[in-house]
């Protein structure tokens, strides 16, 4: 399990990735993957030259979108005309950008789809040049770049090193990770949790009885997933430690899948090492079968007793490991909501606890929810509303309480 921070989240960011002709075109695939991992939507546009180096299918498979490459493709134009396509992205990233393409751009040519889009947009354009060192050093190329920079084009790289042509020098395309970091950095959310790493546990755990049976609960994971998404929208880097659920990973969120409470404990302790916040939204099984049978248990007697062992409390374990962490927990209660929730706040040394009524069709597997949130010297009601809205309010409250705990943070 890695402790590396998830990439800067860019949920919903729209990137038009232009691929021009050059051997570095294959690196465009990794760049598309980096953007998608961060939650961005990627539309690839290739030049005719690029198609000689890599296939459109590669990008189509990675991005889930039809690759565009021609101004004269009637079908594609009917679905989304090139002017509409030019309006679609938040940024255009050309990687690799060939010497020829940069020259055309500097002179305002619109002789293929990509150059037309660049001319017809008012969004930022990034270019990662890739070419032979002499082509890069050529005064014509440098003059074109000066012109383009003067018009606001952001040039990323190039780096220097061994080139595909066998020469060594400047002109090698920057590595995809570096390009992604630079572009995403410009669009990183600037919310109140920017620069912070939050870990969220969500969903149920499964405690195996034998190879085919397990003990679990009705948690759908919806509330935890919504909280993870809401925290990301406030600027946090979010790691979601998730039990088995049928939900898509929120955009820009790094997800770690686990099954048992023990696995969730290990993954959470590990991820929390680099975190400032932890939100325990998982419905962790309090007990597991004392022994998981290696073979399927056969029926015999009329009744059967099941010996259970207590699972460790994840929030308490993380609190012990990291006394300074901001920890928010959930409490699912069928009675005496305030008393039980405040009891858990105290016992588990939490900074905040969000309590909800459960049973009689409430909370579990529902789309709506209401929360009563308690902290040391305060209390607030959130909802009733859609879980996504309640999550948004809870994330805002967590940011508020985090700021209250760390007044020195700007």
Residues marked as catalytic: 165
Q: At closest approach, how far in Å is the CB of 397 from ligand CTP?
A: 15
| CA atoms within a 13 Å half-sphere pointing along the CA-CB vector of 199 | 28
The answer for residues whose C-beta is within 8 angstroms of residue 381's C-beta and 6 or more apart is: 370, 371, 372, 373
Q: At closest approach, how far in Å is the CB of 4 from ligand CTP?
A: 24
Could you say whether residue 6 binds ligand CTP (CB under 6 A)?
A: no
Q: At closest approach, how far in Å is the CB of 253 from ligand CTP?
A: 18
Nearest CA among 202, 276, 197, 191 for reference residue 238: 197
The answer for residues whose C-beta is within 8 angstroms of residue 252's C-beta and 6 or more apart is: 6, 7, 9, 10, 11, 38, 39, 232, 238
Could you say whether residue 272 binds ligand CTP (CB under 6 A)?
A: no
Q: Which is nearer to ligand CTP, 121 or 201 (by Cβ)?
A: 201
Q: At closest approach, how far in Å is the CB of 286 from ligand CTP?
A: 5
Q: Which is nearer to ligand CTP, 310 or 405 (by Cβ)?
A: 310
**Backbone torsions φ then ψ of 200, nearest 5 degrees:** -125, 130
Could you say whether residue 315 binds ligand CTP (CB under 6 A)?
A: yes
Q: Is the dihedral of CA 88, 94, 99, 102 positive or negative?
A: positive
Could you say whether residue 240 binds ligand CTP (CB under 6 A)?
A: no
Q: Is the dihedral of CA 397, 400, 403, 405 positive or negative?
A: negative
DSSP structure class, residue 211: T
**Backbone torsions φ then ψ of 287, nearest 5 degrees:** -130, 155
Could you say whether residue 282 binds ligand CTP (CB under 6 A)?
A: yes
Q: Which is nearer to ligand CTP, 118 or 315 (by Cβ)?
A: 315
Nearest CA among 194, 353, 388 for reference residue 281: 353
Could you say whether residue 330 binds ligand CTP (CB under 6 A)?
A: yes
Which stretch of DSSP H or E encloses residue 215?
Answer: strand 213-215
Could you say whether residue 372 binds ligand CTP (CB under 6 A)?
A: no
Q: Which is nearer to ligand CTP, 183 or 265 (by Cβ)?
A: 265
Could you say whether residue 314 binds ligand CTP (CB under 6 A)?
A: yes
Q: Which is nearer to ligand CTP, 32 or 355 (by Cβ)?
A: 355
Sole binder of ligand CTP in the list 19, 261, 371, 382 (CB under 6 A): 261
Could you say whether residue 332 binds ligand CTP (CB under 6 A)?
A: yes
Residues in contact with ligand CTP by CB under 6 A are 201, 261, 280, 282, 284, 286, 311, 313-315, 329-332, 344
């Amino acid at each position: 399990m890695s402790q590396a921070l998830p990439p800067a989240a860019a949920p919903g960011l729209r990137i038009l990735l232009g691929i021009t002709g050059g051997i570095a075109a294959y690196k465009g695939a990794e760049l598309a993957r980096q953007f998608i991992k961060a939650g961005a939507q990627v539309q690839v546009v290739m030049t005719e030259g690029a198609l000689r180096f890599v296939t459109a299918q590669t990008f189509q498979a990675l991005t889930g979108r039809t690759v565009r490459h021609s101004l004269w493709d009637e079908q594609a134009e009917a679905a989304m005309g090139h002017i509409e396509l030019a309006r679609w992205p938040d940024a255009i990233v050309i990687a690799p950008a060939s010497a020829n393409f940069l020259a055309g751009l500097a002179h305002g040519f619109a002789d293929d789809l990509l150059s037309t889009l660049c001319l017809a947009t008012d969004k930022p354009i990034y270019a990662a040049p890739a070419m032979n060192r002499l082509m890069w050093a050529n005064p014509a190329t440098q003059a074109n770049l000066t012109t383009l920079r003067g018009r606001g084009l952001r040039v990323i790289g190039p780096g220097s090193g061994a080139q595909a042509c066998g020469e060594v020098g400047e002109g090698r395309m920057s590595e995809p990770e570096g390009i992604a970091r630079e572009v995403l950095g410009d669009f990183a959310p600037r919310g109140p949790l920017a620069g912070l790493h939050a870990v969220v546990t969500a969903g149920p755990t499964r405690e195996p009885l034998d190879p085919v049976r397990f003990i679990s609960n009705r948690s759908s994971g919806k509330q935890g997933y919504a909280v993870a998404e809401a925290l990301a929208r406030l600027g946090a880097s979010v790691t979601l430690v998730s039990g088995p659920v049928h939900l898509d990973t929120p955009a820009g969120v790094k997800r770690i899948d686990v099954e048992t409470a023990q696995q969730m404990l290990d993954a959470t302790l590990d991820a929390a090492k680099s975190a400032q916040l932890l939100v325990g939204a998982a419905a962790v099984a309090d007990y597991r079968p004392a022994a998981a049978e290696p073979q399927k248990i056969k029926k015999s007697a009329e009744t059967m007793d099941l010996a259970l062992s207590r699972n460790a409390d994840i929030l308490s374990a993380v609190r012990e490991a990291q006394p300074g962490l901001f920890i928010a927990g959930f409490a699912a209660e069928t009675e005496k909501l305030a008393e039980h929730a405040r009891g858990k706040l105290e016992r588990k040394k939490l900074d905040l606890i969000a309590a909800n009524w459960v049973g009689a069709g409430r909370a579990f597997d529902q789309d709506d929810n209401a929360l009563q949130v308690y902290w040391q010297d305060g209390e607030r009601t959130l909802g009733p509303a859609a879980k996504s809205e309640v999550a948004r309010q809870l994330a805002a409250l967590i940011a508020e309480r985090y700021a209250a705990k760390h007044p020195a943070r700007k």
